[in-house]
């Protein structure tokens, strides 16, 4: 009898050990402190891109009588779009809609005011926007509110990019109303299309690692529409008006470059090899594009310019954005060279030829750079970076077709939507600053301040 008891005890012990071993292999989702720390830093980096990065870059390019107006436009968007984001923007961008036919196009209000989200909740997004729960997990490794804050910085900078097209001639009240409406009705839906789990472009397989379509094409198309509808600056002669402070431009471009590491490497949503690759290719594409633009300046205009190399760097950063999680070093080099060649041609030849006044080349750099980057992602996406994805260069021509569709849909939606919103706001409060205000300068007439004085 004792023998049987000992055998039974041994059997129970073995069974218990087996169950314990199996239980130990099941990973319980939890916050990863390393990933969370990196994503908090990445969020701060992306905020750095807006204030002071973009503010200095754009502010230095305008005339001294309008620099504060540009600073104010960027700063107020950081404030007002952040509030819009937590009230309704995040929910409509990344949430699901209870109305089935709307699910592919816009989120609902389940997360309005960040309702139903606790500080201990894990992010529902894992690895990257274009690879939600690709490993079968339902949550990520960072707090949900960190993901919300990270995405808030994208929502902030996108309408701020449009400023470069209508700088020096827009009424501040009209600008503010237009920007909020544009974020609500243009940015949020496109973000949902591309990055939300039930977005139609996401389900189709469109690749946009960090914002080629959602941010740059979206803003770039809105930029050219608003520039044309507002009309040219009163003293625009068909060529660039000299920048008032190139030092600001260089500092701004440098801050954008640094901040872009958070923009792109942060979009992997983890501190891992994918983030490291995004960091590397972002830097190499920017460096290649900056050098290419400088050489074009040198060869065609006999001297390399500081504004030129700064613009080239930004163009490289724009174009690598959708591809950062999908291409390696060869792809980054190709993207860097091509974006400077194409954007230089747009800025130096197409814009003067067509005569539109895209003040700071928001369309010529962000719009065109975003389009090129999104399409090249469909060509150069490498299975060596993420095995699930490949482009036309690796035999997957279907991915290039999907990229064309995503680009075309974004262009049409942003272009038509921007046109409608412009007409509405212009009818309500007016968007074009008066000739008198434009002549005096928007710093003094819109804000009652001047950036520089003659006093000691």
3-state helix, strand and coil shares in percent for the chain, rounded to the nearest 5: 70, 0, 30
Tell me what pLDDT residue 5 has: 47
**Cβ atoms of residues 165 and 193 within 8 Å:** no
For the beta carbon of residue 448, count every other beta carbon within 10 angstroms.
Answer: 8
Tell me what pLDDT residue 26 has: 47
Residue in the block written with tokens 């819009």: 84
b/e sequence 206-221, b meaning 16+ C-beta within 10 Å? bbbbbbbbbbbbbbbb
Q: How far apart are CA 114 and CA 88, in angstroms?
A: 8
pTM for the whole structure: 0.91
What's the Rg (C-alpha) of the chain?
A: 24
Name the helix (H) or strand (E) containing 400.
helix 397-428
Q: What six digits make up the tokens of 39?
A: 């994503």
- Walk along the chain (456 residues) in steps of 10 and give the mean pLDDT of each run: 50 50 54 94 98 97 96 98 98 94 95 93 68 53 95 98 96 97 98 94 95 96 97 86 95 98 95 96 98 97 95 98 97 98 96 93 96 98 95 97 98 98 97 95 95 75
Q: How far apart are CA 340 and CA 337, in angstroms?
A: 6
Q: Give SS3 for 396.
A: coil
The CB-based long-range contact list for 290-296 (8 Å cut-off, 24+ gap) reads 290/316, 290/340, 292/336, 292/337, 292/340, 292/341, 293/340, 293/343, 293/344, 296/340, 296/341, 296/344
Q: What six digits make up the tokens of 177?
A: 């109303």
- Which CATH architecture best describes the domain 33-447? Orthogonal Bundle (1.10)
Spatial CA neighbour of 166 closest among 357, 343, 436: 357
């Amino acid at each position: 009898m004792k023998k049987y008891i000992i055998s039974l005890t041994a059997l129970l012990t073995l069974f218990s050990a087996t169950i314990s071993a199996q239980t130990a292999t099941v990973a319980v989702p939890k916050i990863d402190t390393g990933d969370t720390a990196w994503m908090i830093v990445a969020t701060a980096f992306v905020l750095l891109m807006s204030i002071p990065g973009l503010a200095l870059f754009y502010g230095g390019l305008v005339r001294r009588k309008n620099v504060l107006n540009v600073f104010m436009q960027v700063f107020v968007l950081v404030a007002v779009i952040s509030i819009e984001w937590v009230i309704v923007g995040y929910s409509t961008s990344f949430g699901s809609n209870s109305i089935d036919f709307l699910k592919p196009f816009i989120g609902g209000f389940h997360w309005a005011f960040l309702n139903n989200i606790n500080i201990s909740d894990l992010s529902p997004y894992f690895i990257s926007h274009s690879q939600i729960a690709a490993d079968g997990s339902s949550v990520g490794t960072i707090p949900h509110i960190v993901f919300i804050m990270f995405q808030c910085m994208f929502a902030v900078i996108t309408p701020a990019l449009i400023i470069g097209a209508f700088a020096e001639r827009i009424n501040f009240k009209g600008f503010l109303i237009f920007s909020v409406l544009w974020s609500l009705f243009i940015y949020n839906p496109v973000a949902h299309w591309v990055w939300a789990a039930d977005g139609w472009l996401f389900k189709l397989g469109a690749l946009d690692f960090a914002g080629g379509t959602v941010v740059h094409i979206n803003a770039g198309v809105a930029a050219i529409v608003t520039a044309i509808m507002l009309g040219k600056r009163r003293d625009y002669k068909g060529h660039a008006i000299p920048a008032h402070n190139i030092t600001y431009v260089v500092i701004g471009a440098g801050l954008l470059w640094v901040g872009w590491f958070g923009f792109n490497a942060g979009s992997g949503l983890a501190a891992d090899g994918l983030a490291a690759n995004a960091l590397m290719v972002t830097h190499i594409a920017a460096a290649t594009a900056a050098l290419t633009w400088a050489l074009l300046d040198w060869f065609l205009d006999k001297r390399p310019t500081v504004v030129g190399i700064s613009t080239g760097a930004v163009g490289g950063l724009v174009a690598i954005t959708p591809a950062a999680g999908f291409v390696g070093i060869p792809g980054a080099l190709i993207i860097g060279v091509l974006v400077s060649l194409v954007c230089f041609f747009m800025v130096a030849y197409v814009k003067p030829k067509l005569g539109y006044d895209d003040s700071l080349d928001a369309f010529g750099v962000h719009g065109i750079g975003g389009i090129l980057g999104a399409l090249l992602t469909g060509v150069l996406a490498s299975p060596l970076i993420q095995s699930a994805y490949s482009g036309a260069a690796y035999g997957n021509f279907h991915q290039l077709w999907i990229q064309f569709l995503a680009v075309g849909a974004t262009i049409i939606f942003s272009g038509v939507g921007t046109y409608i919103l412009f007409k509405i706001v212009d009818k309500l409060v007016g968007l074009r600053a008066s000739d008198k205000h434009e002549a005096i300068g928007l710093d003094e007439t819109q804000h009652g301040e001047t950036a520089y004085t003659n006093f000691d």
